[in-house]
Amino acid sequence: MGKIISFVNQKGGVGKTTSAINIAASLGILGYRVLVIDLDPQGNATSGLGVLKRNLKLTATDLLTSDTPASEVILQTEFENLSIIPSNRMLAGAEHELQNEDFTVLRTKITPVKGQFDYIIIDCAPSLGMLSANALTASDGVVIPMQCEFFALEGLSQLMATISQIKKISNPDLSITGILITMYNSRLFLSTQVINELRKHYQDKIFETPISRNVKAAEAPGFGKPVYYHEKSARASKEYMNVAKELAERI
């Protein structure tokens, strides 16, 4: 039965979607069967995996707000062992429709397909609304991509409080799979300061490999590809592969 992992951070611009699609692609390259669920109305994970949003017939919106089964929404990407439940801007409306529902809609809808995958990666919206609550309720673990800056530390406290609340209300088995440092620059003293502060409180949760700022990783979504398929020798390709291996050991 596949392990479900949400990539969550209510702060935008921290490399959440980039990390989700590149770790998913790396897991696929390692031989795992992977499904990405794009639960962000921006649909960046969808376009980042080469799926044209304007051509979509069924999306995550249909999954959450209709009787459409997950099996009909899943698309196979061109990348090894990697499928996706795509999204577009219509998903923003689904959030409002879920206001009167409980947090278990997504979990109920994807349970029938869990056995088809080793990992299900959910790319959450940069908010802590009903979509993210549904993702966390469905998940076994959480990966928190976090930029090396002090404002990110403040946001982390809020996110941890939300995760604790979800554990109490709807998913007592939810755990933190890891905190992923993104946009890392070893030459900046600030990066070292932030990591040292994180280690005081979350030492065992921080992934060993931080993700550096990398031009090839920034370029790759414009080509609709994970960075490994865009430039295999890129530093980010190696870093994401290392994180994927560590994630597979953790969960």
Q: How confident is the model at residue 186 (pLDDT cuts 50, 70, 90)?
A: low
Residue 84 belongs to a domain: yes
- The position carrying tokens 């999306």 is 59
At 246, is the secondary structure helix, strand, or coil?
helix
Determine contact, residues 3/32, Cβ cutoff 8 Å: no
Total domains, the chain: 1
pLDDT higher than threshold 80 for residue 18 = yes
Return the CATH number at 201: 3.40.50.300
What does pTM read for this prediction? 0.94
Residue 136 belongs to a domain: yes
Residue 251 belongs to a domain: no
Residue 92 belongs to a domain: yes
- Residues 116-169: pLDDT tens digits? 999 999 999 988 889 999 999 999 999 999 887 666 667 788 888 889 999 999
* Domain residue limits at 221: 3-246
Burial class (CB in 10 A: 0-12, 13-18, 19+), 246: middle
- Quick one: which of 244, 241, 246, 149 has its CA closest to 195? 149
